[in-house]
Structure 1
Amino acid sequence: MKTKIFLLILLLAFAVQPNIHGLDSESPQAKKDQKALRHEVVVTLKLVQVFVTDKKGNPITDLTKDDFILYDNGVLQTITDFEKHILTQPEKKIEKQAEEKLEETELATSRKVPLKMNRKFFLLLDLERNDGLGIINSKKAALHFMDTQIQPTDEVGVFSNSLIGGLTVHEYLTTDHEKAKEAIKRIKGFPGGTEETNGLTRAEIEVMKQQIHRFIDEIREFAKSLRYTPGYKNIILFSAGIKRNLLYGDDPSLRLNLEDTTKELATSNSPVYTVNSKGTRAYLKDRWQRGGDSLKMISDLSCGKYFSNVGYYEKNSREIQNATSNYYVLGYYYTDEKWDGKYHEINVKVKRKGCVVHSQGGYFNPKLFTKFTKFEKKHHLINLAIANTPQFQTRLDLPLITLPCSEEKESNFVLLSEARLDEIEDIGGEKTEVVALVFDQEDNIVVSSRYEVDFSEFSQEQICPYAILSLSPGLYKCRIILRNLETGKGAVASSSVNIPEPQDSGRRLFSPLLLSPKKNVYYINASKAQKKEAGKEPLSLINIYPFLSREYSPLVGNLDKETSKLLAVLRSSNINIQKSDVELSVFLREPSSEKKTPLTYSILKGKKEGEKIDILLIELELPELQAGEYSIEIVAEEISTQSKSQVTRTFQVK
């Protein structure tokens, strides 16, 4: 997986913060060491993206590190790292971006910071200020840009805005461009329309204004969250814009709000390339009913460019390519960085005469996670959950199993993860949240639950976070996230699930919960708080799988190869079978082989849940295991009808 250029500013802070607990019990030497730590100087690599052209706008591509002069808040800096990114064929998709690393100063200590700053694009489709044809043309233009201009190293994010969903993340910054294109294709939603405001009542116009204010506010919060991502973040906005009579009417609040937000985008080094999705159809309306002026304002104030017709997508794509390619990256080390969120002004000059320099205006110091706004924390959580490599930190990945458990509409699905407390020592704290998120195929969050816990109270060696959720039939991506609410450090468990359609009759086996010999486990129900808020008694894992014990715990991660015995809690539904007589068979499928070995088993306990669900506790005798992937296969055959139901559960042996 390719590493991003992000400076991991949060991670740097965690590495240098002293432990403040138990200071009174420290030895004099420990206090001395602690004092020394407080005076340690933090050195941070800063990267600045610079475009240089001649006076005619043609890129100058033969400069070296010694041609540049860089100031940070008026202080001359020593440029230690230098890269040149040259795109030779902007009109065609090429396999490799020509890059020349001219010079790199060797450092005494490796800081694991990548010395490459890739281009970053956010494609934003505004469904709210659009009609059906405009949405179709916008998606066509976005896909054309992806197919013809995006380079292998470019990072692409896909967002949309709708009246109901607001600003929605479909794909965060990723170099998996096929995923980004699929995200564009999947974007759905009702067009907000671009009809005239003539004939609307004052109250209806006020509602429209409030909706526009909400969109502008969300964009401003998004811009603030981009402050801490190095380099330029190019936003391509497809929209019909805000009607001129609303923007320049008697009430100036919309215009002022839009101006402030656009300036925030410029400050966060996020130029917006606005594309009018109405195109020539806009000229069928009176000038005061068009949205082009608002789009031009956004592009002008953010240092982007306005494109008046989405239909000219080939020309538009080439111009965006030319404006964002052929750049230099200057790196310098800044000492004793402050965690105050303040702005640093950057000034870059070139010694060669006749050069025109375009560089980011500055950057913001990092700030503590506790100082994040509500939107920034939400942005941080989504980024942690779905990004290939999260922007703010190195993510700890945890195992996750998905267990459909019923054909009923309510509480028909279980998410279950596990983690050793020593493994998540930096994440678990006095204030830690456990969040369960489920995304549909369009990457919309369809189910979420959250529970806050105090990890300092745990005496167990291992935790099992879980959630009991209700899902309709379909394909889903699932996450359980642990996040420290004081530092922002997080761990993520990821998997996917297919919830089947209910069947009319017969027996259906659900994926078994396997139990291995393991003690001292603490269970955390992430869906507990939501059930209480809804006035319902929350279900716990033992309600779904009633044979849990202190001697055995769920097998979520790896199984020790010395294990000779497993337990399986098997749930099955019985639909319209009057006299059920079932014969079970259990097999072990070995790694890298089609060989199936019958397993000896014993049914230890049985229980009915209502009229339709049977629950069995089965003991499985295992043969000698080798490292690798295994599968437990369980087959249930109805003796009277000879109908079969089969389920498989895969696990790793180490």
Structure 2
Amino acid sequence: NGEKQRITEFEKHVLSLPSGKKEVPSEEMIKTQASPGRELMPRKFFLFFDFAFNNAIGLEKTKQAALHFIDSQLQPTDEVGVLSYSATKSLRLHEYLMTDHRKVRDIVQAFGMKEIAGRAEDFEAKYWSLLKEENPKDASSSGYVFDPDEQRKKELGFLRNQREEAKLQTYNFVRKMTDLAKALRYVPGHKSIIFFSSGVPYSVFSGIPAPEISPDQTSQDSLTWGMENTDQPERFESSHLSSRYEDMLKELSAANCAFYALDTQELSSTLTSVVQTRGAFTLQKMTSATGGKYFGNINNYRQHIEKIQDLTGCYYVLGYYVDDKWDGAYHKIKVEVTKPGCEVHAQKGYFNPKPFKEYNRLERMLHLVDLALSEEPLFQTPVRLPSEVFSYSSEGEADLCFISKMEAEKLREVAEGKLEVISIVFDKEGNIVKMHREEKTLKDPSEEDSYYYSFFSLPPGNYACRLVIRNLETGRVAVASSAAVIGNQRLTGIHLFPPLLLTPEKNAKYIRGNIPKPLVEKSPGFSLANFFHFDISQYSLHLEDFVLANTLVPALLRCSIVNMPNSEINLSSSLLEKSSGKTTPLTLIVLSEELKEDEKRFLVNIHIPELPAGEYALNFTATEKTSKSESVTTRPLKIR
């Protein structure tokens, strides 16, 4: 905002590439102990294919350039994603950031000519040529021999209709790009967007173009140039579109990303159009606003890609303190260096966060996604709640039970008012496989602790579960996270499921979340206590990750028994100290035992002896007395 700032943070990033030169022995240096440095994030790239403002030749060169970048420039740790925009399919995320570069290559290779829709730059060039009563500059275009006025009117009418479609397409493009910019804010680290496009024609924003000048003579701070001398009806509409484009640029500049645009416009078309009907101006605006760089003539993509490698591999990160104001204001940033002859590429500004009540629908969704997916959310540190995930079997199906402890003391700031409670289950690839949402109002969140639980039917696999509790008025959030593995169901034998630890707390409150229909139909009054068979008047759940030494810990154990009638199960338990590998047998007392269908349920007490504080693995073993078959289950546990 024009005020000098004191730089308090500084990072230097240099990509080390293997050199083909033979190393020359250097002078012997005295080694000194370096201070430990924190690990830097890997480079993040999005390959962005614009099919709306492109052409057949440009698309073919785009594929060649993208594949060349993947094959020759990417490092093993680089994360790459693929985006595209088209008139028919809008903005699409084909692949999120990943290090599987082969998969990304396959996606790019599959793109075809059918993706292209619209040639906005051609419409613009022909449209303005007709308005200025010029004959075509290209012999392949029709001239006027018979009744030129009538022919001109017909062609102008057709092009006007096409141009209106192009303007609508531009409006949708700007809107979607604004949404993308807001989403990119929540992707941690710096993002490099390699954008393959011929750009939105400048005259879509500026109205009737002024006399042709070079891009270097055009102001980079305004898209309204060329409108001053026109009284056309479309002037206000173009002005509105121009304003939306400027808003888009502000959002992109605040998203910690840099656009590197490779102009895909055909060289032959530049001979038949004035410069303002091309997209180079808008591409330059986008790259300038984000601290990236514009590259003309995609035929030279090899040189361009090498330059992008230089720019993304070697850069500085500067930081300074700002006032913590939640007003949503935009602040301009300008970076200058004292060394002469240097060209600075940096983002142009940032937005302050704003109050949650002012979020629109998209921003609320992105806020939720950030909380659900990120270990360190962007705009707030959520309240962390203890939780546990239990796998079990029910009539041949594998399922999960996700339980979170809603601690009254921690939830006091979050739970005053209307809440939304969202349970999410992710597979090992990070895809959402189950989600449940409901709205609740806690009567008195500071009164007592409660337990929120949900059940999900899922196939065998590795899963991560997350509970997000968000105040719909303030945006304050509490989060609980746990992971679980569902194994394949056994056709015969015994299978011991993970233990449910209890604590001697009476009459705790339980809140029911998602319950699959079969469970409800089987037991209309379904409850967590009835499912696991424990007495809520005597016990509640122990979801903390630690227990105290020299204590008695109650636990529930479930053991499935398939095709083994009249079986007799013996239970044992032990603690494995992670630091030493030492195993300590535990005293286990069975308090009750119940057989229901093909499952035995045990309520046991285990004694935790006086052991050193630290991390342990709590092991339970079930042994069938006659067949001697065994099943073991383990859970991490800390001792204090």
C-alpha separation in 1, matches of 2:102 and 2:471: 33
Matched, 1:194 2:147: no
Q: Secondary structure at the match of 1:81?
A: coil
Q: Secondary structure at the match of 1:491?
A: strand
Report Cα offsets for 1:165-184 as digits up to 9, x if no partner: 9548846xxxxxxxx52699
Matched, 1:147 2:75: yes
Matched, 1:123 2:112: no
Q: Note the aligned Cα RMSD (angstroms).
A: 5.4
- 1:155-174 alignment runs, 5 A limit: 166-167=92-93, 170=96
Read off the aligned partner of 1:79 and give its amino acid letter: Q
Q: Percent identity?
A: 26
Q: Find the counterpart in structure 2 of residue 322 from structure 1.
A: 311
Read off the aligned partner of 1:606 and give its amino acid letter: E
Matched, 1:650 2:572: no
Out of 533, 544, 553, the position equivalent to 1:566 is 553
C-alpha separation in 1, matches of 2:516 and 2:562: 33
Q: Which entry has the higher C-alpha Rg, 1 or 2?
A: 2
Report Cα offsets for 1:386-433 as digits up to 9, x if no partner: 334321123444433221111557671111232532234333322333
C-alpha separation in 1, matches of 2:463 and 2:251: 34
C-alpha separation in 2, matches of 1:215 and 1:550: 60
Instruction: Specify whether residues 126 and 470 from structure 1 end up closer, same or farther in structure 2 by C-alpha distance, changes over 3 A only.
Output: farther
C-alpha separation in 2, matches of 1:576 and 1:532: 23
Out of 600, 604, 609, the position equivalent to 2:592 is 604
C-alpha separation in 2, matches of 1:402 and 1:651: 14
Q: Find the counterpart in structure 1 of residue 500 from structure 2.
A: 513
Read off the aligned partner of 1:619 and give its amino acid letter: N
Matched, 1:77 2:9: no
1:368 CA displacement: 0.4
Q: Find the counterpart in structure 1 of residue 220 from structure 2.
A: none
Instruction: Specify whether residues 627 and 424 from structure 1 end up closer, same or farther in structure 2 by C-alpha distance, changes over 3 A only.
Output: farther
Q: Find the counterpart in structure 2 of residue 363 from structure 1.
A: 350
Instruction: Specify whether residues 486 and 198 from structure 1 end up closer, same or farther in structure 2 by C-alpha distance, changes over 3 A only.
Output: closer
Q: Does the CA contact (< 8 Å) of 2:198 and 2:265 recur in 1?
A: no
Q: Find the counterpart in structure 1 of residue 486 from structure 2.
A: 499
Read off the aligned partner of 1:565 and give its amino acid letter: L
C-alpha separation in 2, matches of 1:320 and 1:387: 28
Out of 165, 179, 201, the position equivalent to 1:221 is 179
Instruction: Specify whether residues 528 and 266 from structure 1 end up closer, same or farther in structure 2 by C-alpha distance, changes over 3 A only.
Output: same
Higher mean Cα deviation, 514-523 or 118-127? 118-127
Higher mean Cα deviation, 128-137 or 561-570? 128-137
C-alpha separation in 2, matches of 1:539 and 1:192: 50
Q: Secondary structure at the match of 2:451?
A: strand
Read off the aligned partner of 1:518 and give its amino acid letter: E
- 1:426-505 alignment runs, 5 A limit: 426-458=413-445, 460-505=447-492
Q: Structure 2: which 5+ runs fail to align? A: 20-37, 53-58, 119-166, 206-236, 273-277
Out of 386, 390, 395, the position equivalent to 2:377 is 390
Instruction: Specify whether residues 350 and 563 from structure 1 end up closer, same or farther in structure 2 by C-alpha distance, changes over 3 A only.
Output: closer
Q: Does the CA contact (< 8 Å) of 2:387 and 2:403 recur in 1?
A: yes
Q: Secondary structure at the match of 1:236?
A: strand
Report Cα offsets for 1:462-503 as digits up to 9, x if no partner: 233332112221122222223333333333333322211222
The two structures have a TM-score, normalised by structure 1, of: 0.62
C-alpha separation in 2, matches of 1:529 and 1:422: 31
Q: Secondary structure at the match of 1:599?
A: strand
C-alpha separation in 2, matches of 1:138 and 1:532: 51
Q: Does the CA contact (< 8 Å) of 1:132 and 1:191 recur in 2?
A: no
Instruction: Considering Cα pairs closer than 8 Å and 6+ residues apart, tell me whether 1 or 2 has the greater RCO.
Output: 1
**Pairs aligned (count):** 517
Q: Secondary structure at the match of 1:404?
A: strand
1:653 CA displacement: 2.2
Q: Does the CA contact (< 8 Å) of 2:80 and 2:101 recur in 1?
A: no
Out of 556, 562, 569, the position equivalent to 1:575 is 562
Q: Secondary structure at the match of 1:483?
A: strand
Q: Find the counterpart in structure 2 of residue 67 from structure 1.
A: none
- 1:231-246 alignment runs, 5 A limit: 233-237=190-194
Q: Does the CA contact (< 8 Å) of 1:508 and 1:645 recur in 2?
A: yes
Q: Find the counterpart in structure 2 of residue 635 from structure 1.
A: 621
1:362 CA displacement: 3.0
C-alpha separation in 2, matches of 1:423 and 1:125: 42
Q: Does the CA contact (< 8 Å) of 2:284 and 2:294 recur in 1?
A: yes
Instruction: Specify whether residues 529 and 164 from structure 1 end up closer, same or farther in structure 2 by C-alpha distance, changes over 3 A only.
Output: farther
C-alpha separation in 1, matches of 2:623 and 2:90: 48
C-alpha separation in 1, matches of 2:3 and 2:199: 43
1:574 CA displacement: 2.8
- 1:100-111 alignment runs, 5 A limit: none
Q: Secondary structure at the match of 2:179?
A: helix
Read off the aligned partner of 1:147 and give its amino acid letter: Q
Instruction: Specify whether residues 302 and 539 from structure 1 end up closer, same or farther in structure 2 by C-alpha distance, changes over 3 A only.
Output: farther
Read off the aligned partner of 1:236 and give its amino acid letter: I
Report Cα offsets for 1:299-320 as digits up to 9, x if no partner: 6534344677799679625424
Q: Secondary structure at the match of 1:482?
A: strand
The two structures have a TM-score, normalised by structure 2, of: 0.64
- 1:32-431 alignment runs, 5 A limit: 72=1, 76-81=2-7, 85-86=11-12, 122-125=44-47, 141=69, 147=75, 166-167=92-93, 170=96, 181=99, 193-196=111-114, 217-225=175-183, 233-237=190-194, 263=249, 265-268=251-254, 270-274=257-261, 301-303=286-288, 304-305=292-293, 316=305, 318-322=307-311, 325-327=314-316, 329=318, 331=320, 339-346=326-333, 358-406=345-393, 412-431=399-418
C-alpha separation in 2, matches of 1:311 and 1:406: 60
